[in-house]
Structure 1
């Protein structure tokens, strides 16, 4: 952005909210996203001291209740335990500007290669401390990632920011989140998902015994495949592309170092082509043609279609059972790569556990030295990448606990987290190039994944393990700036077992048994040697 363009934007902001001109000297933009822009500004206090602030300008089209909810989260919870607070708020017509303390911070990708183990331990502790606070108030952040957890390495200061996607638990203490909750329930009243609180998810009800239908019900249609190419500034999703959202995030202009967009340490994950399948729907009368036209018979058919397993897995077709599934609506907000299995499979019962999973992904990056660790282009590939680390059998078993069915054409064994992280960081064998390791070459095999998410039937895609974390083509040595010997001097060759035990609990596939932020802070990892 040129100085002229930046000056024009600042003038427009002054015009939109005239009171800002009397108080702040806006210097330049430090972050931007779909829903807001953030500016660095200075103000002279009554004491005569000049202080810097971050001004977050929300776009005029933002929903008033959503703006009020974000502001209430900052005012009620912020200012303590590493949660960003708010100093002032200005509004003029549809324009809202939230004024927050300014924290000069480092870019996560910049400092990751040179972090000492004790610094990584301190980082994850302070993140969990922030999560404990917001979860105590019944807030689910929904967008936990390094760019939303500001870190000043020199001052050892932390701040959790951006509550623009926050949602409330059923017992939330944030009044505006309760309002959003009511509106959401009204809009989804037809689906009537069960509401739960805290970190617990109910067990799935047993599936009724399978009914035998005539052969006419097993009609199927072939896929009609269409390629979709993403444009600029979009995020990939299972059902299409949405505008990129990033405040204090990937488009952050206020960072140290010269790292640009992308993965400076080498991508762990290779992008896989997205295929969106168009399907021809089989009319209901075709399925029910052989049944008596009675209410009892129709109910029997609907129950069968809701619970019956399909027969089209690993075939180039979609059966009528899958086509008749009722659509299910569930929140999918968040950043790809940090979404847990229950979000990727569109489970309607989502709790504070989704924030804990995201913290686990960040901890995985800290221990492995790889960021972004997961970088899938859609939800199905995101789930596949999780399976490649946590195992197919374990993932399928966990999915059943929150009412989802996952089918994998090949059993993918779970990886030992310590072995995985040490190989990626290359702390055990100085100079070893794991890209030439025969063991990694052997796992270049094809497999297929399918998810019955209760709404749109089965979604399937051919996958290749070389696109997932760990295969030979993606494992690279540590960046040249930090040698293996230097890395070991930073303590990475002395990571205790407790660290990987905590990582395993944070990345628990079952949200009902996943460790909470409060429990994490009491984990032996943080009390063996202190934080």
Structure 2
């Protein structure tokens, strides 16, 4: 422990003092992470029980290492109870870190999880080839499919909460401190989340005049006041005032009508990963907010830039989304949530979004790196740049090996495969970034996307081989 900083050693000694029974079961080795609500330490399981609890996970079964999560005393008891309950509930998936042990002593709570050999996202996101990105996203969506099947929203999907091993191509979702369970989310039919307004339009239930029992108000608007993005209700105003408020002016200042109630909704999550409906304070948030976060991660991969969104507050986050997707689409989704939005006095934004869409946005970022000389000549990002310079010249990708029967050149075959992967990658990216959460696909839907065709076929082949093996054993 000579190379461990003195302050870390002091922290670990303090943890031993605060939780006396810890030292007889685990030996703390080093601090490996820290967040707002907890610190995480690498430790040795002295009884070597944890590694045998979940043999199908990808950690070294012979390793005695575990991760000790110390939850800060500032966390509410309800939050701690919720996290422990969800960890235990989700312990049967290979893509979710299971609960191995938990210790409570007075006001101290520590959680024991497996220690996974993994790489930090920052170490590989700029160099991972398109097929590696595909495998990463497949693993992440598989984890979310499982989590969402229990009606659980993770609420904090980001690279640091998905421990990935690029060599093994395996990953696990961690940190359910912000996750929430909602019985309504078990329902496969999402129609109950929309209602038809007086104009015959389908809108989110958060804008329904009958949603007051959900702690929402109606006739709200979006405004920026005192450095905050506010969504306020106007149901106490006169009809004439309410009609005027439906068109919000995005400008700094003080509210003209102090009687407006502020719309309340869960806004938990990490800056830069929050979906539009979270920023708009929709009170009918679903698992689809996690899918938006998946899109943010994929955009970081394909643009080779992390973090891709660098908002310091809700205002910046809202404007960043407007910059890429356009004012008009944002007005449409605002209307879906019963909000008004007027950005006519905010210069520099395109009505329909960034020229060229997501492809144009990514190409501009990569072109800038080439111009500044920050991409080495061997960078895998040039494959993406090559695709973006010619994707409009080839409108459809190949859909299978039959298209390559007459292609003998392996290099040409490889380039075609890279082109196909980029085509479907951007297609999936656009689906993750569907602004209307009602139309945004689920994790289960996305796993059936054509981008994952070969991975799904590999799974079928593996399952068939396993079935044939056990059939042979029985016979």
TM-score, normalising length: structure 1? 0.65
List per-residue Cα deviations over 1:168-187 (Å, max 9, x = no partner): 223368xxxxxxxxxxxxxx
Question: What SS class does the counterpart of residue 365 from structure 1 fall into?
Answer: helix
Aligned residue number for residue 453 of structure 2: 527
Which residue is equivalent to 2:67?
A: 54
Which residue number corresponds to residue 408 of structure 2?
Answer: none
Question: Is the contact made by 2:4 and 2:30 (CA closer than 8 Å) also made in structure 1?
Answer: no
- Matched residue, 2:359: 418
8 A contact 1:202–1:402 mirrored in 2: no
Q: Equivalents in 2 of 1:277, 1:16: separation in Å?
A: 40
Instruction: Say if 1:111 and 1:13 are closer, same or farther in 2 by CA, change over 3 A.
Output: same
Q: Distance in 2 between matches of 1:9 and 1:124?
A: 36
- Per-residue deviation, 1:346: 1.4
| Structure 1 match to 2:156 | 143
More helix by share: 2
Q: Secondary structure at the match of 1:28?
A: strand
* SS in structure 1 of the partner of residue 43 of structure 2: strand
Aligned-pair distance for 1:156? 2.2
The equivalent of 1:129 in structure 2 is 142
How many corresponding residue pairs?
383
CA contact under 8 A between 1:204 and 1:403: conserved in structure 2? no
SS in structure 1 of the partner of residue 274 of structure 2: coil
Compute the displacement of 1:205 (Å): 3.8
Task: Name stretches of at least 5 consecutive residues in structure 2 with no aligned partner.
Answer: 52-61, 200-222, 387-413, 459-475
2:24 to 22, 46, 49: 22
Distance in 1 of aligned mates of 2:145 and 2:100: 23
Q: Which residue of 2 aligns with 1:44?
A: 46
Equivalent position of 1:227 in the other structure = none
Rate the CA distance shift 1:504–1:476 in 2: closer, same or farther, 3 A.
farther
**Matches for 1:278-357 after TM superposition, within 5 Å:** 301-309=237-245, 313=249, 318=254, 320-321=256-257, 323-357=258-292
Partners of 2:433 and 2:247 in 1: CA distance? 32
**CA RMSD of superposed structures (Å):** 3.5
> C-alpha offsets along residues 76-110 of structure 1, whole Å, 9 cap, x if unaligned?
11341411101111111111111010012211121
- Residue 406 of structure 1: how far off its partner (Å): 2.0
Mind listing any 5+ residue stretches in structure 1 that lack a counterpart? 174-194, 208-237, 240-273, 280-298, 427-431, 436-474
In the TM superposition, residue 310 of structure 1 has moved relative to its aligned partner by 6.8
Matches within 5 A, 1:224-243: none
**Alpha-carbon distance between aligned partners in 1 of 2:273 and 2:248, rounded to the nearest angstrom:** 30
Mapped pair 1:512 → 2:453: no
Q: 2:452 & 2:340 partners in 1: Cα distance?
A: 36
Deviations 1:19-48 (A, max 9, x none): 111111101111112211111001233699
Is the Cα contact below 8 Å between 1:425 and 1:477 reproduced in 2?
no
Whether the 8 Å contact between 1:347 and 1:404 is mirrored in structure 2 is no
Distance 2:192 2:137 in 1: 23
For residue 365 of structure 1, report the CA deviation from its aligned partner: 1.3
Q: CA deviation at 1:371?
A: 1.1
Alpha-carbon separation, structure 2, partners of 1:350 and 1:476: 42
Residue 302 (structure 1) shift? 4.1
Change (3 A) 1:202 1:87: same
* Paired residues of 1:120 and 1:366 also in contact (CA < 8 A): yes
**In structure 2, what is the Cα distance between the partners aligned to 1:22 and 1:318?**
59
Cα distance in structure 1, aligned partners of 2:96 and 2:184: 20
For 1:163-182, list aligned pairs within 5 A: 163-171=176-184
**Alpha-carbon distance in structure 2 between the residues aligned to 1:509 and 1:102:** 36
